[in-house]
A = this chain, B = another copy of it.
Amino acid sequence: MARYTNMDFLRFLLFEVHPIKDLFQYERFAHLDEEQAWMMIESAKLLADQEMAPFFKDMDENPVKYDGKGNVLTHPCLKRIITESASQGWIGASANFENGGMQLPEMIFSTAHHIFQAANNGVEGYLGLSAGAAGLITSFGNIEQIGTYVPKIFAGEWQGTMALTEPQAGSSLSDITTSAKPLNAEKYLINGQKIFISGGQHEACSNFIHLTLARIEGAPLGVKGISLFIVPKFRVKENGDLEYNDVYCAGDFQKMGQKGYATTHLSFGDNNDCIGYLVGEPHKGLSYMFQMMNGARISVGMCAASVAMAAYQASLQYCLERPQGRIAGEKDPSKEPTLIINHADVQRMLFTQKAIAEGALSLGLECNKLYDLTHVVTGDEKHNYWLLLEILTPIVKTYSSEHGSRSAALAIQTLGGYGFTTDFPVQQHYRDLKIMSLYEGTTGIQAIDLLGRKVTMEKGNALHILAATIQKTITEASQDPVLKELAEQLANDMKTIEKVLTKLYGYSVQGKIEQYLSDATVFLEMMSFIVIGWQWLKMSISARKKLSAPGLSVSEKQFYQGKIQTSEFYCKYELPHVSAFANTLLNEKELTNIKDFPIFD
């Protein structure tokens, strides 16, 4: 069995870096303790070992196929995976008791899903989408809707999806044209095309509940005229029977990665008989959808980190087994070849992967904990956690995706030519990962979200709270001679953010919105490096605490020492690029608002 994640590391995150026990003091989670939490994580690992990891390669080599007649044929393993996962609670477990859930913290739910993503990222999406869709119905649907759809979704019988994207609109949701014609206050006739619908209509589930954005006839233009509908493939008649609801799967996109994961084109209402059930109030669909979208963004970030982690584990295993060459300076060819992990450049590539994958996962759990906290506290405290989560969402999504790809490229590199062959999984990780910077808003969209909305929201309050939170970690670490350097570096980098924002606000004040946002992606890159540095500092503080306690085994000592060494690595090799990004951002030359396109020829 290939090792695709590191259980010790998950334990470290859950019990030391982001102590989950902080949650158990609240009523919502009072039925849980650490031991139970860990048992659930271990059962998720067993499930992934037995049902998911074995099919990772095979699902890639036998991709999802469209039969030309409305059906998407998936790998035979999928039905069992969905059913088993559902029966263990990995679709519905974070829901309230009264909705059939186990009231699990997202921290536990996401950690289990991390394991699934690392084992086989092509199957986890089916589960995650169903969980998100059910969550959306629960939050904004009426009692009847909840009762009709949620239990079936939780059971893994029906698949939930999110249906936003249209061919002509892409990321620009204000331009969606799928129409909804009222039949009565709740029922509408839906007509339109949706593309890139993950988990669309396939043979492993018997019904599909598409959470669909559409425009009610006469609605205002733009995003303020978008409503949310439940559009099932088969609608439930009053007697409980199902009848076809005119949602036709018109095709499946073939892709460079995630080949086991259906990416469908859906056509609603070709025969004018597609009924959508309005969720909540008209025209408020986009704000509802953003509950699912925000969750999906964090989940994509986690998934990217998880795939990078799996690639790192495969890379590490190879480096520990493969002898080749001799260390620098050793010229004697009669000496036995050394393991490649002894080469400094290989260690550099391993540390880089570890810094990215573990740093991104730590940030993912930070976000999940914030999410959980917003559900148990109230007032200002709740609002502040929410603000922090809002500003971290584009960062966890983008850093994990973009640098996850870089990390997987290094995994290939450590295997040399073998890494490019299908004999090893790292090339699949690399291919699968590429979608993550596109899912649920591309990197460019995330960057505009960060600089255009999150940094400025409530007069910069989200950013202030983030800065204060990071400062708290820096202050704690500054006392420690070993962590001082990283702490000081981060403190400097926090000043760099201020300097950069002062410059950028200047454009904004002058009404130069285009210029203010031009380099939003560079700003996001810069912020990400700092936020991941903060996570490494947090991990190092936890590691230092453990190291100062008596009675550690040799392997435990090495584990904690590894955290500190990776944070030193991060400080030497990654953080220096913060200044480079800042240099770009402080440079006033406006180069990317050109109207004269032949320049690009």
Task: Write the residues of chain A forming the contact surface with B, with a CB cutoff of 8 angstroms.
Answer: 6, 8, 165, 169-172, 174-175, 195-196, 221-223, 253-257, 263, 316, 320, 322, 324-329, 333-334, 337, 341-351, 354, 405, 409, 412-413, 416-417, 419-423, 427-428, 430-431, 434-435, 437-438, 442-444, 447-448, 452, 513-514, 516-522, 555, 558-559, 561-562, 565, 568-569, 572-573, 576-577, 579-581, 583-584, 587, 589, 591-601
Q: Which of B322, B514, B573 contacts A344 (CB 8 A)?
A: B514
List the B residue with the shortest CB-CB distance to A221.
B333
**CB pair A435 B420 closer than 8 Å:** yes
Which residues from chain B contact A430 at a C-beta distance below 8 Å?
256, 434
Integer count of this chain's copies in the complex: 2
Query: Which of the listed residues A341, A423, A434, A565 has the most CB atoms from chain B within 10 Å of its own CB?
Result: A434
- Closest Cβ neighbor of A558 among chain B residues: B598
Contact of A422 among B255, B337, B519, B592 (CB under 8 A): B255
Q: How far is the CB of A67 from chain B (nearest CB, A)?
A: 18
Q: Nearest chain B CB to A118's CB is how many angstroms away?
A: 15
Asked if A341 contacts B517 (CB within 8 A), the reply is no
A434 CA / B461 CA spacing, docked (Å):
43
- 6 further A-B contacts with Cβ under 8 Å, apart from A172-B337, A256-B428, A348-B592, are A329-B513, A409-B437, A413-B437, A417-B435, A430-B434, A572-B591
Chain B contacts for A351, CB-based, 8 A: 591-592, 600
Q: Is the interface of A mostly helix, strand, loop or mixed?
A: helix
Please state if B324 and A170 are interface contacts (CB–CB under 8 Å).
yes
B residues near A581, Cβ cutoff 8 Å? 576
A285 to chain B, nearest CB (A): 15
Q: How far is the CA of A584 from the CA of B171 in the complex (A)?
A: 38
Q: Are A521 and B345 in contact (CB under 8 A)?
A: yes
The answer for the CA separation of A349 and B8 in the assembled complex, in Å, is 39
| C-alpha gap A115/B351 in the complex (Å) | 38
Which of B175, B256, B347 is the one whose CB lies under 8 Å from A420?
B256
Q: Which among B517, B565, B591, B594 is the interface contact of A328 at CB below 8 angstroms?
A: B517
Q: Which of B327, B565, B580 contacts A514 (CB 8 A)?
A: B327
Contacting pair B344 A592 (CB below 8 A): yes
Q: Is there contact, CB below 8 Å, between B405 and A599?
A: no
The smallest C-beta distance from A256 to any residue of chain B, in angstroms, reads 4
Which of chain B's residues have a CB closer than 8 A to the CB of A593? 344, 347
Q: Looking across the interface, which residue of chain B has its beta carbon closest to that of A598? A: B558
Interface hub of A170, A223, A584, A592 (most chain B Cβ within 10 A): A592
**B343–A444 touching, CB < 8 Å:** yes
Known interface pairs A576-B580, A580-B577; A598-B328 also in contact (CB < 8 Å): no
Whether B348 lies near A448 (C-beta < 8 A) is no
Contacts of A172 in B (CB 8 A): 324-326, 337
When C-beta atoms are compared, the residue in chain B nearest to A485 turns out to be B589
CB A222 to nearest CB in B, in angstroms, measures: 3
Q: What residues on B are CB-neighbors of A427 within 8 Å? A: 255-256, 434
- List, in ascending order, chain B residues with CB within 8 A of A316's CB: 600-601
Contact of A576 among B221, B419, B569, B584 (CB under 8 A): B584
Q: Is A568 in contact with B589, judged by CB distance below 8 angstroms?
A: yes
Cβ-defined contact, B580 with A320, below 8 A: no
A-B contact pairs, 26 of them (CB 8 A): A165-B417, A170-B324, A221-B333, A222-B334, A253-B421, A253-B423, A254-B423, A255-B420, A256-B422, A256-B427, A256-B431, A316-B600, A328-B516, A329-B514, A343-B444, A344-B518, A347-B591, A347-B594, A349-B444, A351-B600, A420-B435, A430-B434, A558-B596, A565-B591, A568-B589, A572-B591
CB distance from A593 to the nearest CB of B (A): 5
Min CB distance A326 to B, Å, is: 8
B448 touches A561 (CB 8 A): no
A245 to chain B, nearest CB (A): 25
Which residues of B sit under 8 angstroms from A256, Cβ to Cβ? 420-422, 427-428, 430-431
Q: Which residues of B contact A518 (CB under 8 A)?
A: 328, 344-345, 348
Which chain B positions have C-beta within 8 A of A565? 591, 594, 599
